């Protein structure tokens, strides 16, 4: 067991798969010689050389087009879109092309590719470099959507995404890059579409994703020690496929659901989770579903403003303790 | 390696079961080939074998206890193995996650429990479900939530405290003293008793009967009897013909195939026939043949055979009892002439077929009247007078008889 | 149809011209294209012409729904590039892609059936006119969002470069595409990475309804941009199948040699409107008539005759193709509509559509 940072786990996951499969290639802006703007891909160019690790111009459509064209003809590319906000400039390739090719052609095409991107707030970058857009991808049929919260999950889920025969959008939460965690030694391959129950409690079930997971855990400890409320915390890890079995089981157990999302309020992933639970677990609900989200505004840049905007552990404690009875 | 024995899921819509009997004691060898325990739920009793070979190390749930589906009720392992090494909770979770089931049908709950208690506090869906399922009065439960709101855990605590009645353990033992013998009701007997009383209390029953000439049916049975038995492995009885005739007649008299809800008659589009089956004098069940009207005569015969033989082998699941829209009871094997059946709630009518016997019958034809020997049986229907009137029921029975008498049944089988 | 031979010039003409122009006959013998390839080109031109004409007729009978973008007039571009390809090369095209898909060898009933929404369609009715694809024939998709497929074709070329397979990716698009960002991103990256991809602009003078000259800063929308990516300006007569064929050969050879991409602008003209809904009223009077004189199909018929190929052979191919179109039409009409089960198939590699457990 080694202790790695979230960013080191990215490079480890990619390297593990590039070592095992020659068809895995990697492209993006500043990923090679510079080692990535978040230093999440340091060492890959050195180990695998410029034929497999390719720096690109600032051309997001060309990057994802190259990923798609190479995936449908036999490679397994990993493409980096530096900030998830930039997905908006190449969304055509993501939503109209990559996601639909297999279905539209009656299964003639395969699309084994991964789009990695730095997602979410907490780094004081302002509204165009801080969005949490995993819900955009979740809305498009044909895309798998993964967002890990720990270094071990980064490595294991990234490996699983690279091996998956379908296109996977891999959202790395950029404020988590420096966090450290234990990562098992040796080959690590996780399973897409599986949520993890990180804490067990009888009073309320909190579903969270990515950077909201450590905040939910912290909130659960405070709820326990200061309010006598025991929370179950579920890390969804993957939005598509969605592990509804775990969500339904854990919410039926406590009768209460809280979703903690970084998405702005409207159509965040929590809305879908709440809808599924209301629909299928209605007779097990012991009170209203609570959604904790970023307000429906562009994210502001200044420390105080950003901190007051994104869901924090304190806000989770406040909302849960006030609304749970 | 120790393994858990869990409460199995007896059907898609079932969330708990009662362990009625343990067939092994701690220390006994158990195997998947022999029954480990009996489980009962609503109308079903089922033998459950051990999930693997080994020794019964621990029994966690006494006979008579009702537990949720997926709950660990016993542990099997190697002899002398420490019980603490049961599979870790994480694996346990994975194992049971597929067992989470949809809740009971919304309608029955919504109509049985109000969404506020008498203090005006909201009753959550989970609380309303528990109250409905256990027949509780919310005013007897103390709430620990805001403003005294009753929470799910309050209901569970109430149930656990013994304030609410618990299901009684099943016992087969007889108490013999002097001139009387006391035979305690088993679950099935209790269920049957409760249902019969409720049905009689709910529906004003009216009995009507017609005599039908089974000659055409008799010819068909005779023609295929041997080859049918050889091919299908069971005899072709009168019952499938009656069932088929009922399905055809219901098309013209759809209100027979219905149930009462409040002040409305809810007519069912699907025809799901309940078939009353006696379990060796030890109780009565009515498993359902779904969409019976879509089946051919042969398919219907097979489906009836399937549910009745599974009923006798104790292999029915709760799903076999759901959705019935009309029931047929058959006491014919004992040669009875007429039976007044009790309606299978919430349906509105039930048909009894009795013995088919040869009788002299007056035949009217162009050449005048003559007497012939014909197989004749009585079709007796009890109906709910709230739902329909005598004329409608009579017209339906007339149609059933007409179908039985005039259909060329033989051509359907050959 | 304009492809009927002129009555005045009968069968005798071929014989006479063969005798009279011995220099030309000699050049035929030494010609770089040769009779066999020319007849392949001829067949391809006719297949496209007759299928597109049939598609138009089927619209009028209301047997083809939705929109459809015919390539009547563009036949020589498709026939020329496809005939010069190797079997395992890859074609990428736009929503105006019937001709390129047919030219790679996809069946006529596959194309017509797809347009009609029938089970025999290339995509069993799931894609429609704008998404014709036949991976087994190297027709790697028709892309209906302008510009998207240039980077995708470039990506496919990356595979052949990475695996050293020698395959060339050929990407067809219209003049309107040259003004979208993806065009420039793809050209630049393909040039920098020296990828084996050939970008072919079918300049038919109109981006949908607007004259391309009104909205473009340069005269040749593709040709004049080539220099920006270190590529030579290549503008050719897109209605001359021979010229297209020779240009394609050169570009493929360059790509296979590892010398990178080409950008070729083919001047051509669509005989019908932009799409089914468009009668093409915005075109100045006389323009269509002038271009019909350069119609690639009769032009090539004359070319074949000039090279002394027997009229019977020329007409025989025409008749054979027409017969195939009739058969394909009947097969398509008789084909059932697609099974509703297809709706819940093939979102994922496992064949299913599940997004939850």
Judge whether A188 lies within some domain.
no
Chains that touch B (3 or more CB pairs under 8 A): A
State the Cα–Cα distance between residues A99 and A137, nearest whole angstrom. 10
Give me the CATH number covering residue B27: 2.40.50.100
pLDDT of residue A122: 94
Boundary-marking domain end, from A183, A214, A239? A183
B195-222 pLDDT, tens digit per residue, is 888 888 889 999 999 999 999 999 898 8
Give me the CATH number covering residue A281: 3.40.50.920
C285-342 pLDDT, tens digit per residue, is 999 999 999 999 999 999 999 999 999 999 999 999 999 999 999 999 999 999 999 9
For residue A228, give how far its alpha carbon lies from the nearest alpha carbon of chain B (Å): 13
Residue B376's contacts (CB-CB under 8 Å, 6 or more residues apart) are B211, B212, B213, B214, B356, B357, B358, B359, B361
**In chain A, at which residue ranges do the beta strands (DSSP E only) sit?**
2-5, 24-28, 53-55, 76-83, 114-119, 144-146, 168-173, 180-183, 196-199, 204-208, 231-235, 238-240, 257-264, 290-294
Same domain, A260 and A314: yes
Look at phi and psi of residue B382 and say left if phi exceeds 0, alpha if psi is from -120 to 50, else beta: beta
φ, ψ of residue B323 to 5 degrees: the values are 85, 5
State the Cα–Cα distance between residues B380 and B211, nearest whole angstrom. 9
Same domain, A200 and A179: no
C207-252 pLDDT, tens digit per residue, is 988 999 999 999 999 999 999 999 999 999 999 999 999 999 999 9
For residue B132, give Cα distances in angstroms to A1, B16, B137, B154.
52, 15, 9, 15
Judge whether A165 lies within some domain.
yes
Helices (runs of H) and strands (runs of E) counted in chain A: 12, 14
The number of domains in chain A is 2
pLDDT of residue C127: 94
Within chain B, which residues score under 50 in pLDDT? 85-112, 165-176
Number of A/C CB contacts below 8 angstroms equals 160
State the Cα–Cα distance between residues C199 and C197, nearest whole angstrom. 6
Same domain, A59 and A81: yes
Kind and range of the H or E run holding B275: strand B273-278
Same domain, A87 and A222: no
Whether B210 and B379 have beta carbons less than 8 Å apart is answered as yes
Question: What is the reported pTM?
Answer: 0.68
Boundary-marking domain end, from B50, B66, B97? B97
Same domain, A177 and A260: no
> Which residue from C90, C337, C67 is spatially nearest to A108, judged by alpha carbons?
C90
Is A104 near chain C, with CB under 8 Å? yes
A267-307 pLDDT, tens digit per residue, is 999 999 999 999 999 999 999 999 999 999 999 999 999 99
A144-190 pLDDT, tens digit per residue, is 999 999 999 999 999 999 999 999 999 999 999 999 999 999 999 99
CA atoms lying within 13 Å on the CB side of residue C234: 22
> Which residue from A140, A37, A129, A144 is spatially nearest to A97, judged by alpha carbons?
A140
* Range scoring the smallest mean pLDDT among A124-133, A261-270, B84-93, C44-53: B84-93
Whether A313 and A215 have beta carbons less than 8 Å apart is answered as yes
For residue A317, give how far its alpha carbon lies from the nearest alpha carbon of chain C (Å): 30
Whether C93 and C46 have beta carbons less than 8 Å apart is answered as no
Q: What range defines the domain where residue A249 resides? A: 196-323
Boundary-marking domain end, from B97, B122, B137? B97
* Range scoring the smallest mean pLDDT among A306-315, B286-295, C275-284: C275-284
C140-161 pLDDT, tens digit per residue, is 999 999 999 999 999 999 999 9
Crossing angle of helices C34-60 and C296-306, in 10° steps, is 150
For residue A62, what pLDDT band results from cuts at 50, 70 and 90?
A: very high
Percent of chain A with pLDDT over 70: 100
Q: Which domains does chain C have, with CATH numbers?
A: 35-334 (3.40.50.970)
Whether B130 and B138 have beta carbons less than 8 Å apart is answered as no
Contact A165 C150 (CB under 8 A): no
Same domain, B78 and B210: no
A221-244 pLDDT, tens digit per residue, is 999 999 999 999 999 999 999 999
Residue B356's contacts (CB-CB under 8 Å, 6 or more residues apart) are B214, B218, B238, B332, B375, B376, B377
Give me the CATH number covering residue B200: 3.30.559.10
Boundary-marking domain end, from A183, A213, A247? A183
Q: What range defines the domain where residue B30 resides? A: 3-97
Contact B97 A245 (CB under 8 A): yes
The number of domains in chain B is 2
> Which residue from B324, B314, B255, B248 is spatially nearest to B286, judged by alpha carbons?
B324
Selecting from A51, A92, A109 the residue whose C-beta is nearest the C-beta of C148 gives A92
- Per DSSP, what are the bridge partners of residue A204? A231
Same domain, A214 and A158: no
Q: Taking all residues of chain C, what is their mean pLDDT, rounded to a whole number?
A: 91
Please give the average per-residue pLDDT across A97-122, as a whole number: 97
For residue C357, give how far its alpha carbon lies from the nearest alpha carbon of chain A (Å): 6
pLDDT of residue B168: 41
- ipTM, two decimals, is 0.95
pLDDT of residue C290: 94
> Which residue from C209, C235, C232 is spatially nearest to C221, judged by alpha carbons?
C235
Pairing of β A144-146 and β A76-83? unpaired
State the Cα–Cα distance between residues C245 and C33, nearest whole angstrom. 9
Same domain, B196 and B52: no
Instruction: Provide the annotated active-site residues of A.
Output: 129
Boundary-marking domain end, from B97, B132, B155? B97
Helices (runs of H) and strands (runs of E) counted in chain C: 12, 8
CA atoms lying within 13 Å on the CB side of residue B358: 4
Same domain, A47 and A119: yes
Contact B124 A280 (CB under 8 A): no
Selecting from B96, B97, B129 the residue whose C-beta is nearest the C-beta of A283 gives B129
State the Cα–Cα distance between residues C71 and C51, nearest whole angstrom. 10
CB atoms within 10 A of CB B270: 12
State the Cα–Cα distance between residues A295 and A277, nearest whole angstrom. 22
B252 given a catalytic annotation: no
**In B1-135, at which residue ranges do the beta strands (DSSP E only) sit?**
3-6, 16-22, 29-30, 35-41, 44-49, 54-59, 66-68, 72-77
């Amino acid at each position: 067991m080694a202790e790695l940072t979230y960013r080191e786990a990215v490079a480890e996951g990619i390297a593990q798969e590039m070592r095992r499969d020659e068809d895995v290639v990697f492209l993006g802006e500043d990923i090679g010689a510079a080692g990535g703007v978040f230093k999440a891909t340091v060492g890959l160019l050195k180990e695998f050389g410029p034929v497999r690790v390719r720096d690109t111009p600032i051309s997001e459509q060309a990057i994802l087009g190259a990923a798609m064209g190479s995936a449908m003809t036999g490679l397994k590319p990993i493409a980096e879109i530096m900030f998830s906000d930039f997905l908006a400039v190449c969304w055509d390739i993501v939503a109209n092309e990559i996601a639909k090719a297999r279905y539209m052609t009656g299964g003639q095409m395969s699309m084994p590719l991964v789009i990695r991107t730095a997602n979410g707030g907490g780094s004081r970058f302002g509204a165009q470099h801080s969005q949490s857009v995993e819900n955009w991808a979740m809305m498009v049929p044909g895309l798998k959507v993964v967002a890990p919260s720990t270094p071990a999950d980064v490595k294991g889920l990234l490996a699983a995404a690279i091996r998956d025969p379908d296109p996977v959008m891999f959202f790395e939460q950029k404020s988590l890059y420096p966090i450290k965690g234990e990562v098992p030694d040796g080959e690590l391959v996780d399973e897409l579409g599986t949520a993890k129950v990180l804490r067990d409690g009888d009073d309320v079930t909190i579903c969270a994703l990515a950077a909201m997971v450590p905040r939910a855990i912290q909130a659960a400890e405070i709820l326990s020690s200061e309010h006598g409320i025991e929370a179950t915390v579920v890390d969804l890890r993957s939005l598509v496929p969605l592990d509804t079995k775990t969500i339904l089981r854990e919410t039926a157990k406590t009768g209460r659901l809280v979703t903690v999302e970084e998405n702005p309020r409207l159509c965040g992933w929590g809305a879908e989770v709440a809808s599924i639970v209301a629909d299928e677990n209605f007779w097990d609900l012991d009170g209203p579903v609570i959604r904790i989200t970023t307000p429906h505004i562009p994210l502001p840049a200044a420390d105080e403003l950003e901190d007051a905007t994104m869901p924090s552990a304190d806000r989770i404690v406040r909302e849960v303790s006030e609304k749970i009875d | 390696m120790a393994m858990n024995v869990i409460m199995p899921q007896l059907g898609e819509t079932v969330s708990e079961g009662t362990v009625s009997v343990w067939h092994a004691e701690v220390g006994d060898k158990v195997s998947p080939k022999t029954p480990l325990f009996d489980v009962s739920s609503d109308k079903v009793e089922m033998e459950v074998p051990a999930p693997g070979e080994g020794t019964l190390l621990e029994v966690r749930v006494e006979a008579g206890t009702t537990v949720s589906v997926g709950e660990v009720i016993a542990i099997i392992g190697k002899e002398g193995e420490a019980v603490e090494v049961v599979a870790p909770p994480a694996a346990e979770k994975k194992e049971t996650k597929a067992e989470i089931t949809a809740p009971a049908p919304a309608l029955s709950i919504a109509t049985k429990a109000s969404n506020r208690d008498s203090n005006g506090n909201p009753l959550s869906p989970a609380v309303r479900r528990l109250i409905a399922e256990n027949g509780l009065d919310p005013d007897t439960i103390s709430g620990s939530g805001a403003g005294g709101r009753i929470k799910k855990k309050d209901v569970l605590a109430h149930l656990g405290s013994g304030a609410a009645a618990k299901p009684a353990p099943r016992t087969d033992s007889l108490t013999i003293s002097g001139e009387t013998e006391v035979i305690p009701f088993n679950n099935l007997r209790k269920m049957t008793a409760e249902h019969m009383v409720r049905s009689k209390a709910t529906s004003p029953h009216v009995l009507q009967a017609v005599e039908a000439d089974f000659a055409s049916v008799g010819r068909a049975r005779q023609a295929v009897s041997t080859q049918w038995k050889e091919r299908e492995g069971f005899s072709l009885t009168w019952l499938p013909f009656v069932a088929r005739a009922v399905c055809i007649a219901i098309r013209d008299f759809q209100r027979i195939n219905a149930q009462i809800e409040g002040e409305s008659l809810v007519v069912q589009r699907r025809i799901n026939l309940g078939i009353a089956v006696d379990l060796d004098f030890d109780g009565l069940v009515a498993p359902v043949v779904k969409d019976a009207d879509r089946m051919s005569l042969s398919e219907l015969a097979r489906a009836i055979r399937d549910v009745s033989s599974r009923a006798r082998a104790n292999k029915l699941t709760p799903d076999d009892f759901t959705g019935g829209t009309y029931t047929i009871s058959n006491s014919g094997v004992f040669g009875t002439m007429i039976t007044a059946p009790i309606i299978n709630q919430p349906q509105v009518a039930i048909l009894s077929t009795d013995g088919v016997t040869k009788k002299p019958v007056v035949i009217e034809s162009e050449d005048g009247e003559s007497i012939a020997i014909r197989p004749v049986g009585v079709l007796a229907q009890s109906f709910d007078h709230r739902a329909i009137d005598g004329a409608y029921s009579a017209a339906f029975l007339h149609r059933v008889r007409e179908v039985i008498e005039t259909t060329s049944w033989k051509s359907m089988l050959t | 149809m304009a492809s009927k031979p002129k009555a005045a010039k009968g069968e005798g003409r071929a014989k006479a011209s063969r005798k009279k122009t011995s220099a030309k006959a000699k050049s035929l013998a030494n010609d770089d294209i040769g009779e066999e390839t020319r007849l392949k080109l001829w067949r391809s031109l006719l297949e496209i012409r007759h299928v597109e004409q049939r598609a138009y007729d089927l619209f009028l009978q209301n047997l083809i729904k939705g929109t459809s973008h015919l390539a009547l007039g563009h036949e020589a571009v498709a026939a020329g590039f496809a005939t010069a390809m190797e079997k395992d090369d890859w074609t990428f095209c736009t929503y105006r892609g019937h001709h390129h898909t047919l030219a790679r060898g996809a069946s006529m009933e596959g194309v017509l059936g797809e347009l009609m929404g029938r089970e025999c369609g290339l995509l069993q009715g799931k894609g429609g006119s704008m998404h014709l694809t036949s991976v087994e024939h190297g027709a790697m998709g028709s892309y209906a969002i302008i510009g998207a497929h240039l980077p995708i074709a470039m990506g496919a070329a990356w595979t052949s470069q990475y695996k050293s397979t020698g395959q060339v990716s050929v990407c067809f698009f219209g003049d309107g595409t040259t003004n979208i960002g993806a065009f420039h991103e793809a050209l630049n990256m393909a040039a920098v990475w020296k990828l084996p991809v050939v970008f072919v602009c079918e300049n038919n003078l109109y981006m949908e309804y607007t004259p391309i000259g009104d909205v473009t800063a340069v005269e040749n929308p593709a040709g004049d941009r080539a220099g920006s990516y270190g590529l030579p300006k290549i503008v050719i007569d897109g209605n001359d199948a021979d010229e297209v064929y020779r240009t394609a050969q050169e570009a493929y050879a360059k790509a296979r040699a590892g010398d990178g991409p080409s950008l070729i602008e083919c001047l051509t003209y669509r005989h019908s409107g932009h799409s089914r809904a468009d009668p093409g009223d915005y075109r100045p009077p006389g323009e269509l008539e002038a271009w019909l004189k350069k119609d690639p199909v009769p032009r090539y018929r004359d070319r074949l005759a000039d090279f002394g190929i027997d009229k019977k052979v020329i007409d025989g191919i025409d008749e054979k193709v027409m017969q195939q179109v009739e058969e394909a039409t009947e097969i398509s009409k008789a084909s059932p509509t697609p099974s509703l089960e297809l709706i819940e198939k093939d979102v994922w590699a496992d064949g299913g559509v599940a997004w939850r457990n």
